[in-house]
Each structure stands twice: as structure tokens, then as C-alpha cells.
Amino acid sequence: MDYFFIIAILVSISAVFGYINVRYLKLPNTIGLMLITILFTLGVFALSYYNSALLDAERYIITHIDFKEVLLDIMLSFLLFAGALHTNFAQLRVQRWPVFVFSTAGVLLSTFLVGFSMFYLLPLIGMEIKLIYCLLFGALISPTDPIAVLSILKQAGAPKKLETKIVGESLFNDGVGVVVFLTIYNVARFGSDKVEAMDIITLFSQEVFGGVFLGLVLGWVTYKLMKSIDDYDIEVIITLATVMGGTVLAHKFHLSAPLAMVTAGLVVGNDTVRNSAMSKITESYVDKFWELIDILLNTVLFVLIGMEMLVLSFELNYFIAGIIAVPVVLICRYLSLILPVKFFEKRLDFVPRTNLIMTWGGLRGGISIALALGLTQEMHRDLFLVITYIVVVFSILVQGLTVGHLVKKVTKNLDPVYLD
């Protein structure tokens, strides 16, 4: 009953806050929901001096939810499959190499740039943190969030080439980022002398390539099943089974569930499969079903992110460190993209100032917070959780509200060749 009660409360809060945003604030849903939830929580804090009932209720919800498990093991698979299902496959195929490099080499480079920067900057405010723990922070903050940025880019009318790079990178770097985090986490937990280089290569290969292979198999099986029947009800259920069963298989065999779901979603969603396996009514029902799942889970997720401020440790040094981390993360992302952008920009007609837009449009979200919650106290969990929360809030509220204007400004007088 507790779980049903918590889910009922979360969905009800999400509906109320979503209504307030659509009716009055008119912000993109992800931004509006998180802003309203943060303001609501701050109001609950103020009210608790007179009556703590609301604060106790909100704390009850947060303490009975394992945010890391709920997001990484359950919600993320649904969200990434839904995102991949509606990604422009033809454009992604054209942009596959830059997307691959951004989501692999870019994440690795960003991880080390952020880690080393924080290692040398934190002592300036009296905080001596081991390099391996700073690298853990670099790993958890480097993946960008496709959930938050997709609707914003569409509203801004971003060129398809640019939208595909940002969304495609975000879809894949979630899985890669989690694998990089787990690898460094194991080194931090067991010591570098007990984790050999071959173990790291094996883990990375198994998670990444195994996840992609599983996704291809799941997508192919789903395609074959849907092609052999014409019943939109059952075909929608087949796609749901693909995500749920595929996630269980990925966890069972220690493969990357996020990468498996992205790959499966791209296979099922591409035009060839749609045209040969789905009738028009099936395609409509599949799209509407996954759009609804996407919207519902997004709504609940960003309400939860806003409520997670209740688990923060309110120490001045932690907040100063978080403020320092905001420009550090942005600069390191910009630097990590320079070489790939320079290499590919002329070959694939990149939109001018692609690096700047990808840096500012690389929003952080729930994955970073979930990974930070998975740190141990020895790894300075409270410190890095506060830093992560500040970076995520800045990313969504400030970058999210302005990236659309940046895209419009940069693309205003572009040659039509860039707008396809």
C-alpha cells in the first residue's frame, strides 16, 4: 500500500504542478515542473516553522524512494526507448560518427577534465579530496540529458542536423557515462592494485558492446513479431515487453540497459521498420502510447528532482564548491568537444558555433543526481551530491531557459544548406 500511496501522491502532485505551469508559467514542462517543485519545497521549509506536517509528508516520500534504483533500473529504460523511438533515424545515420565520438571519447575526456579541475580547485576553499573521488564526480556529471533538451530544441526550431547531434549524443552518452562511472567507482572502492586494466576493458566492452548487441537483437525480434501480425493492441504490448523484458535481461547478464534500450528504440522506430511492420493505425497507437509514457515519467522525474533538495547537507563550503563547479563543467564540456567538432564540421556541414550550442545545450538531469546518490560517505557523498544538484538546477533552469534563444540567434541568418 505504501508504494501505491507514494505513486498516487507523486502523480497527483505532478498533475497539479503541470497544470500550474501550462496555465500560468507556460515554461517547457521539464523546467516548469522542477522550478515549481523547488519553490514548493522551499515554501514547505518556511511553513515547517509553524507546522511541520507538509515537510514530514514530503520527507516520507523521499525517504521511501530509492531515487537511484527507480531512475537507473526502471524509469531510464522507458525514457530512453521512447526518446530513441522518435529520433530521426535517417539524420542519425548521417551523423553517426560524430555522435559516436561525442558520446564516448567526449564523455571520457570530460570526465578527466572535470575531475582534475575539481581536484586542484577544491583545496582553494579548504577541501582536500582525493583525485579518484574527483574523477567519480567528473564521470557522473559528464552525461547530458536527452529528456530535458529535446522539447526545448524542437520549440526553438533547431536545424535537424544540430538537433540530431545533441539528442543522439545524449541518448548514447547516458549508457556510456554510467559504465565509466561504475568503472571508476570500482577502482575507488577496491583500490587500483586490485582492479587490473584488463578488468576495466572487459567491463567496458561487456557493458557497452553487449548492451548495443542486446538492443539490436531485441529490436530485430520486435520487428519480426510486429510484422507477422496486424493488431495494434498486441503490437503496443510487444513494444512494452521489449523494454521491460530487455531491461531484465540486461541486468541479468550485466549489460548496459540504457544502451540496449536506445538501440532497440532506434531499430523499432526507423522508417524501414515502420513502413514494413506497422499499419498506419498501429504506428499511431505505438507513437501515442510511448509519448504518454514519456510525458508521465518525465513529469514525475522532474518533480522528484525538485524534491531531492530535502536530502542535501546545507553547508556553506558545499554550496561554494557547487557554484565553482558550474563554470568548470561548462568549460570542460566545451574543451572536450573542440577536437571532434573541428574534425567533422567541414565533412558534415556543421551548423556554425556547434560547439557553443552543444555546450550550453548539454543539460544535466536526473542521471547525475542518481549516480551521486550512489556514492558512499567515504567518497564524500554529501559534498558531491550538493555540487551535482547545483549544477543540475543551473543547467535546467538557466541553460534550459536560454538555449532556445541561443539556437535562434545562431541560426537566424543561416544558409539553407544548414537547415535541412
Summarize the confidence of residues 212-228 as an average pLDDT.
96
Chain-centroid distance, C-alpha 364: 7
Helix axes 400-411, 29-47, angle to 10 degrees: 150
- Are 290 and 268 in contact by the 8 Å Cβ rule? The answer is no
- CB of 254 closer than 8 Å to CB of 206: yes
| Segment 204-228 mean pLDDT | 93
Tell me the average pLDDT across 24-42. 90
Residue 25 above 70 pLDDT?
yes
Expressed in angstroms, the distance from the first to the final Cα of the chain is: 51
Helices (H) and strands (E) in the chain, counts: 21, 0
Domain boundaries, the chain: 67-415
Q: How much is the pLDDT for 206?
A: 86
Most confident of 81-95, 156-170, 202-216, 400-414: 202-216
Radius of gyration (C-alpha) of the chain in whole angstroms: 21
The predicted structure's pLDDT at residue 194: 65
**Separation of alpha carbons 218 and 154, rounded Å:** 29
Q: pLDDT (tens digit, 9 = 90+) per residue, 123-145?
A: 999 999 999 999 999 999 999 88
d(CA 50, CA 43): 12
CA dist 320 and 92 (Å) reads 40
CATH ID of 67-415, from 1.20.1530.20, 1.25.40.420, 3.30.450.20, 1.10.630.10:
1.20.1530.20
Task: State the greatest distance between any 2 C-alpha atoms of the chain, in Å, as a whole number.
Answer: 65
Q: What is the pLDDT at residue 94?
A: 83
Run of H or E residues at 138: helix 131-141
CA distance 363 to 13: 24
Q: What is the pLDDT of residue 1?
A: 46
pLDDT band at 290 (very low <50, low <70, confident <90, very high): very high
Q: To the nearest whole number, what is the mean pLDDT of the chain?
A: 89
Residues 6+ apart with CB under 8 A from 419: 159, 160, 411
Q: Return the H-helix or E-strand segment holding 18.
A: helix 2-20
Grid coordinates representing 321 are: 564548491
SS3 254: coil
Give CA separation, 40 vs 31, 155, 315, in Å.
14, 27, 21
Q: For residues 83 and 348, give the distance between their C-alpha atoms in angstroms, rounded to a whole number.
A: 24
416 has a pLDDT exceeding 70: no
